[in-house]
């Protein structure tokens, strides 16, 4: 089983100014695509169609924030059709409302990131013997006491009584259409909470394993 992970938003705490105008995002979303390896080409195909619709080469990477509203809606519709046909493919997402995060947690926001991944992912992957964890190394770095992967492995073995082994295979998103896929998804979820843009979100919402934190 392959797990592709990406996020939208940031781990800053400056709320006195608007986001992207000197202030931090009010929300952080982490999303994961959980896909059997033999089916991983299907999610890639959806991303390729987005490039084809734009008449754009995949050599110039698209991000969720770069898509127009109608493109995100079309992407969401294609994702739903895929999930209807292939129920073994799953999408998980967790969003935190950062204004409600207590001060003592803000002092080490990387632990918050670790916990969010744990909360969003482990119940879904705990029954697979081997999971290949594929994040984009250019995203938020986790620098708390244990690495993210050590943290997740400990949680699986000792708290979930799971024998799942996690293999870490970081990959830059411009080389992975599936990381671009989950970037599109994470942006759609985050954009709903951050900016109240919900057309694409309303399409995906019933099909995502979604959780909220500090709302």
Q: Which positions of the chain have pLDDT values less than 50?
A: 142, 144-145
Per-residue pLDDT at 145 = 39
Per-residue pLDDT at 89 = 98
* Distance in angstroms (rounded) separating the CA atoms of residues 16 and 163: 46
Which residues face 92 on adjacent strands? 32, 209
Q: What is the CATH number of the domain that holds 208?
A: 3.30.420.10
| Contact of 33 with 171, CB cutoff 8 Å | no
Q: Look up the domain containing 26 and give its range.
A: 2-213
Q: In Å, what is the CA distance from 80 to each residue of 52, 66, 125, 212?
A: 19, 21, 21, 21
Q: In Å, what is the CA distance from 125 to each residue of 3, 19, 46, 96, 165?
A: 9, 34, 23, 21, 10
Q: 160-174, pLDDT tens digit by residue?
A: 999 999 999 989 898
Per-residue pLDDT at 144 = 45
Per-residue pLDDT at 106 = 94
Which residues face 95 on adjacent strands? 29, 212
In the chain, how many domains are there?
A: 1
Per-residue pLDDT at 83 = 98
């Amino acid at each position: 089983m392959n797990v592709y992970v990406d996020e939208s938003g940031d781990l800053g705490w400056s709320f006195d100014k608007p986001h992207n105008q000197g202030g931090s995002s009010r929300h952080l979303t982490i999303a994961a695509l959980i896909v059997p390896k033999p089916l991983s080409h299907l999610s890639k195909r959806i991303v390729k169609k987005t490039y084809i619709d734009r008449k754009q080469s995949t050599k110039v990477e698209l991000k969720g924030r770069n898509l127009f509203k109608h493109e995100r809606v079309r992407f969401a519709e294609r994702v739903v059709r895929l999930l209807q046909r292939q129920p073994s493919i799953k999408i998980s997402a967790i969003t935190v409302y950062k204004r409600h995060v207590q001060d003592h947690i803000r002092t080490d926001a990387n632990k918050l990131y670790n916990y969010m991944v744990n909360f969003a992912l482990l119940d879904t992957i705990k029954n697979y013997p081997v999971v290949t964890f594929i994040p984009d190394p250019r995203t938020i770095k986790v620098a708390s006491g244990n690495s993210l992967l050590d943290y997740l492995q400990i949680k699986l073995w000792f708290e979930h009584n799971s024998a799942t082994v996690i293999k870490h295979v970081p990959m830059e998103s411009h080389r992975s259409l599936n990381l671009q896929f989950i970037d599109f998804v994470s942006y759609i979820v985050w954009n709903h909470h951050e900016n109240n843009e919900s057309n694409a979100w309303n399409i995906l919402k019933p099909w995502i394993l979604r959780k909220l934190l500090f709302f």
